[in-house]
Amino acid sequence: MSCTEWQSRLDAYVDGELPAPEMETFRDHAVNCSHCAAAALALMEMKGALRRAGRRYPASPELRTRVLASTMTTSAGARSRAAKPKAGPSSVLSWPGWVMAAAAVLLLMAGLLFFAKRYTQPAALGEFADLHIATLASANPVEVVSNDRHTVKPWFQGRIPFTFDLPDLQGSPFTLTGGRVAYFHQEPGAHLLFAYQRHLVSAFIFRDTPQLAIHRGSFSNRETSFNLRTWTQDGLRYVLVGDVNAASLRQLADLWQQHPR
Amino acid sequence: MKSANVSHEEFEGLAMPLLDALYNFARWLSRDQAEAEDLVQETFFKGLRGFDSFTPGSDFRAWMFRILRNTFLTSRTGLQAKLTVQLDAEEEGSVGVTWETPESLVLASATREALQSAMDSLPLRYREVILLCDVEEMKYQEIADVLSVPIGTVMSRLARGRKMLRQVLAGERSVFAAAGKSSEPR
């Protein structure tokens, strides 16, 4: 094969796409042809330089959180066959009418179920589960993005009318991903998000009020497959919500109660 | 049919490691951070929703990149780019390496920024094939799957795209005009 013929195959050679016998033949040719050898080498260098230059935009931690949250919400919606506000970015409006109608019917049914269950489960806890789902569906689930509790805790100064402690998570399977201000019955409080494996857990902290007087500490909601855990500490009501199992929620609650900082 | 729970975990296990690569590709295609983030989120949403139709054992990476690219092509920016590209007739057949500019000289003076701006100046059709081949290091067959074109088209676009890159880097910025191309609207 002549140099001119090889020229048209150099791209395939440097991409490792020539059939094995042709790869060999080219190598034999290149031993005696400095022109082709130099061209192949230059193409390889160019390929390497492009690879390095092309990896230009890493995904931000915010996007990672958004994507995780939206896949979780999509999946939770599929599991419970209930219509949650899914995180289909900018696509909700393009859903066909029958989907929206079905969603409305399911929401109504979910609402009826909610009222049917309110005598067995404090209504307040259902609202925390709703807050959790709505946050995961949001494009920006957290307002302060950090895994450093010494960044997240001070962020709440001046935003909520109390202060709270965050657990030391070193060596535990949980990581803090950030926080936001949440409102419950017109009362501002802290909403923190923790990652556990590929799950996200919400922690809500509010000043304890009579509406929040809950006697049992742990609940699970079979309709949405969410678990909840709650306790009070120093006049504050803590509520954990997530689709992790009850034992994992207890582990996070224990970390919080045992190692307050 | 996989159960929703299992397929969700499986999907995340396969898809999350691709997040950086998908975002990088989306950003190069759309040239806009917010748009790229929306594209990625929508890709994950569509991927999870359609995961039941994914054949286990087949190429998941190519599948996700294809979803992302198709989503991009139906976006406003994508439609604009596609319209522009359609004006430029597909050039089939191989385009050999041209020897007028020694690559070593071109590269010696090419900084990372110069390479990035040269890549950015390429029309979508050539930019995407170079990204998939040189940045994502996909095989030709994988690229053909992502772009839904024959392998021969992948090869000719690659050769042409690389030639344009070399020419841009060598300072021949009239390349698009000379070849009758119009660059995409930014």
What three-state secondary structure class fits A208?
coil
Ranges of chain A with pLDDT below 70: 75-100, 105, 108-124, 211-225, 259-261
Quick one: A75 and A147 in the same domain? yes
Q: Is the pLDDT of residue B10 over 90?
A: no
Quick one: B102 and B59 in the same domain? no
Between A87 and B44, the higher pLDDT residue: B44
- Calculate the alpha carbon distances from B178 to A189, B84, B166, B186 in Å: 63, 17, 15, 20
Between B13 and A218, the higher pLDDT residue: B13
User: In this complex, which of B38, B103, B134 lies closest to A54 when CB atoms are compared?
Assistant: B134
Closest C-alpha among B69, B65, B66, B90 to residue B160: B90
Give the sign of the dihedral formed by CA A9, CA A12, CA A15, CA A19.
negative
* Other residues' Cβ atoms within 10 Å of the Cβ of residue A145: 20
Interchain pair A70, B44: CB under 8 A: yes
Quick one: B105 and B164 in the same domain? yes
Of all residues in chain A, the one with the smallest CA distance to B39 is: A89
Quick one: A136 and A49 in the same domain? no
Cβ atoms of B165 and B119 within 8 Å: the answer is yes
Measured CA to CA, the distance from residue A192 to residue B106 in angstroms comes to: 52
User: In this complex, which of B38, B40, B104 lies closest to A42 when CB atoms are compared?
Assistant: B104
Quick one: B112 and B169 in the same domain? yes
Domain count, chain A: 2
Shortest Cα distance, chain A CAs vs residue B180, angstroms: 23
Quick one: B69 and B102 in the same domain? no
Of all residues in chain A, the one with the smallest CA distance to B37 is: A63
Whether B40 is covered by a domain: the verdict is yes
Shortest Cα distance, chain A CAs vs residue B11, angstroms: 9
Between B100 and B123, the higher pLDDT residue: B123
Between B28 and B82, the higher pLDDT residue: B28
Quick one: B95 and B165 in the same domain? yes
What three-state secondary structure class fits A94?
helix
Quick one: B47 and B109 in the same domain? no
- Calculate the alpha carbon distances from A225 to A76, A197, B131 in Å: 8, 17, 41
Closest C-alpha among B121, B125, B131, B129 to residue B166: B121
Closest C-alpha among B127, B125, B103 to residue B117: B127
Q: Give the ipTM of the model, two decimals please.
A: 0.80
Which residues does A179 contact at the CB level (< 8 Å), separation at least 6?
A142, A143, A144, A152, A155, A156, A190, A191, A192, A193
Query: How high is the pLDDT of residue B182?
Result: 45
Q: Tokens for A114, please give them.
A: 């909610």
The mean per-residue pLDDT over the stretch B60-76 comes to 92
Whether B186 is covered by a domain: the verdict is no
What is the CATH number for A201?
A: 3.30.200.100
Cite the DSSP H helix spans in chain B: 4-15, 19-30, 33-49, 60-73, 76-86, 103-108, 112-121, 124-130, 140-147, 151-169, 175-178
User: In this complex, which of B11, B16, B159 lies closest to A11 when CB atoms are compared?
Assistant: B159
Whether B79 is covered by a domain: the verdict is no
| Amino acid occupying residue A37 | A
- B18 near A CB under 8 A: no
**Among residues B43, B74, B105, which one ends one of the domains?**
B74
Query: How high is the pLDDT of residue B24?
Result: 96
Query: How high is the pLDDT of residue A55?
Result: 92
At B147, is the pLDDT very low, low, confident or very high (cuts 50, 70, 90)? very high
Cβ atoms of A70 and B41 within 8 Å: the answer is yes
What is the CATH number for B40?
A: 1.10.1740.10
Between B67 and B183, the higher pLDDT residue: B67
Closest C-alpha among A75, A76, A2 to residue A33: A2
User: In this complex, which of A64, A75, A89 lies closest to B8 when CB atoms are compared?
Assistant: A75
User: What is the signed CA dihedral for B25, B14, A75, B74, rounded to 10 degrees?
Assistant: 30
Interchain pair A75, B48: CB under 8 A: yes
Whether B103 is covered by a domain: the verdict is yes
Domain count, chain B: 2
Closest C-alpha among A75, A174, A220, A137 to residue B6: A75
At B68, is the pLDDT very low, low, confident or very high (cuts 50, 70, 90)? very high
Q: What angle do CA B148, B151, B152 make, to 5 degrees?
A: 120
Quick one: B67 and B14 in the same domain? yes
Q: Is the pLDDT of residue B48 over 70?
A: yes
The mean per-residue pLDDT over the stretch B120-146 comes to 95
Quick one: A113 and A229 in the same domain? yes
User: In this complex, which of A46, A67, A90 lies closest to B44 when CB atoms are compared?
Assistant: A67
Task: Give the number of A-B residue pairs with CB atoms closer than 8 Å.
Answer: 152
Paired strand residues for A238: A205, A231
The mean per-residue pLDDT over the stretch B50-77 comes to 90
Residues of A in contact with B121 (CB under 8 A): none
What is the CATH number for B150?
A: 1.10.10.10
Quick one: A164 and A194 in the same domain? yes
Quick one: A14 and A85 in the same domain? no
Of all residues in chain A, the one with the smallest CA distance to B32 is: A57
Quick one: A149 and A86 in the same domain? yes
Q: Is the pLDDT of residue B95 over 60?
A: no
Quick one: A206 and A124 in the same domain? yes
Q: Tokens for A175, please give them.
A: 């990581």
Quick one: B50 and B102 in the same domain? no
Quick one: A118 and A25 in the same domain? no
Quick one: B108 and B173 in the same domain? yes
User: What is the signed CA dihedral for B18, B21, B27, B33, rounded to 10 degrees?
Assistant: 60
What three-state secondary structure class fits A238?
strand
Q: Tokens for A38, please give them.
A: 């130099």
* DSSP state letters, A12-57: HHHTT-S-HHHHHHHHHHHHH-HHHHHHHHHHHHHHHHHHHHH---
Interchain pair A87, B119: CB under 8 A: no
Cβ atoms of B80 and B184 within 8 Å: the answer is yes
Cβ atoms of A144 and A181 within 8 Å: the answer is no
**Among residues B74, B100, B120, which one ends one of the domains?**
B74
Interchain pair B38, A90: CB under 8 A: yes
- B19 near A CB under 8 A: yes
Between B2 and A1, the higher pLDDT residue: A1
CA A238 to chain centre: 22
Q: Is the pLDDT of residue B107 over 70?
A: no
User: What is the signed CA dihedral for B46, B51, B55, B58, rounded to 10 degrees?
Assistant: 60
* Other residues' Cβ atoms within 10 Å of the Cβ of residue B56: 7
User: In this complex, which of B5, B19, B107 lies closest to A42 when CB atoms are compared?
Assistant: B107
Q: Tokens for A140, please give them.
A: 């920006």
Quick one: A73 and A31 in the same domain? no
Q: The domain containing residue B172 runs over which residues?
A: 91-178
Quick one: A45 and A167 in the same domain? no
- Calculate the alpha carbon distances from B156 to A85, A223, B97, B162 in Å: 45, 55, 11, 10
Whether B67 is covered by a domain: the verdict is yes
Q: The domain containing residue A44 runs over which residues?
A: 3-54
Which residues does A225 contact at the CB level (< 8 Å), separation at least 6?
A76, A79, A80, A243
Query: How high is the pLDDT of residue B106?
Result: 57
Spell A2-40 as b/e; 16+ CB within 10 A means b. eeeebbebbbbbbbebbeeeeeeebeebbeebeebeebb
Residues of A in contact with B22 (CB under 8 A): 59
Residues of B in contact with A87 (CB under 8 A): 41, 45
* Phi, psi torsion values for B74, nearest 5 degrees: -95, 0
Whether B185 is covered by a domain: the verdict is no
Quick one: B49 and B95 in the same domain? no
Quick one: A50 and A83 in the same domain? no
Measured CA to CA, the distance from residue B1 to residue B161 in angstroms comes to: 42
Quick one: A91 and A148 in the same domain? yes
**Among residues A32, A54, A76, which one ends one of the domains?**
A54
Residues of B in contact with A52 (CB under 8 A): 112
